[in-house]
Amino acid sequence: MSAEDILFEAEMTMEKSVDYMIHEFSGVRTGKASPALVENVDVEAYGSSMKLKQLALITTPETRLLVVQPFDAATVKDIEKALKESKIGITPQVDGKIIRLPVPELSEERRKDLVKSLRQMAEEARVRVRGNRRTAIDDAKKLQKSGELTEDGLRDLEGDVQKLTDKFVKSVDDHLERKEAEIMKV
Tens-digit pLDDT profile for residues 18-28: 999 988 887 77
- What domains are there in the chain, each with its CATH number? 3-26+107-184 (1.10.132.20), 35-102 (3.30.1360.40)
Quick check: helix, strand or coil at residue 102? strand
| Cβ(9)–Cβ(160) below 8 Å | no
Q: How far, in Å, CA of 121 to CA of 185, rounded?
A: 20
Query: What's this model's pTM, rounded to 2 decimal places?
Result: 0.69
Question: What long-range pairs does 18-21 form, CB within 8 A, spacing at least 24?
Answer: 18/125, 18/129, 18/168, 18/171, 18/172, 18/175, 20/125, 20/128, 21/121, 21/122, 21/124, 21/125, 21/172, 21/175
pLDDT value at 186 more than 70: no
**Residue 63 neighbours by CB under 8 Å, 6+ apart:** 32, 33
| Cβ(118)–Cβ(21) below 8 Å | no
Q: How far, in Å, CA of 110 to CA of 107, rounded?
A: 5
Q: How far, in Å, CA of 37 to CA of 22, rounded?
A: 13
Which tens digits make up the pLDDT trace of 31-66? 677 787 888 889 998 889 999 899 999 998 888 889
